[in-house]
Amino acid sequence: MLFDTLFTQGFTDEEIKAMVAHEIGHWYHLHDYKILAIDSANIAVLVIAFALCINNKSLLASFGFCDLSNFVSLLIFTKLSEPISFITRLAVSAVIRGFERDADLFAAKNHKEAVKTSLIRIF
């Protein structure tokens, strides 16, 4: 993301062009739409999994609960989904890192040296 603070942090014009090119690279590769699709799929899977868990008598019984309870179902679902969510977050992070690399490569086509120096300056 670009902020107006770029102009006050001492970046050169070429480095600013490289950062704008990086953002254009995200647009060129349709990364926003891909992230939207990934997030939508993730939410759909969570909703379906929760629908399978909520007030599931055998699931509640396996945790020692005899009565149906939305609250207990939510607690059990939350605990059961944590390891899956951890793995999902790792996978999504890897995909997003790939998107950043794609955007950097797009920017480096015309601003190779400025991409290097701006990344060094950012970190």
Restricting to residues 62-101, which ones interact with Zn ion according to CB under 5 A? 100
Q: Contacting Zn ion (CB under 5 A), which of 76, 103, 114, 115?
A: 103
- Which CB, 39 or 82, lies closer to Zn ion? 39
Verify whether residue 104 is a known catalytic residue: yes
d(CA 19, CA 4): 12
97, 78 contact by CB (below 8 A): no
**Alpha-carbon distance 9 to 3, whole Å?**
11
Residue (77 or 106) nearer to Zn ion, CB = 106
For residue 89, give the DSSP letter: H
Residue 115 interacting with Zn ion (CB under 5 A): no
For Zn ion, the binding residues (CB under 5 A) are 100, 103
Catalytically annotated residues: 23, 104
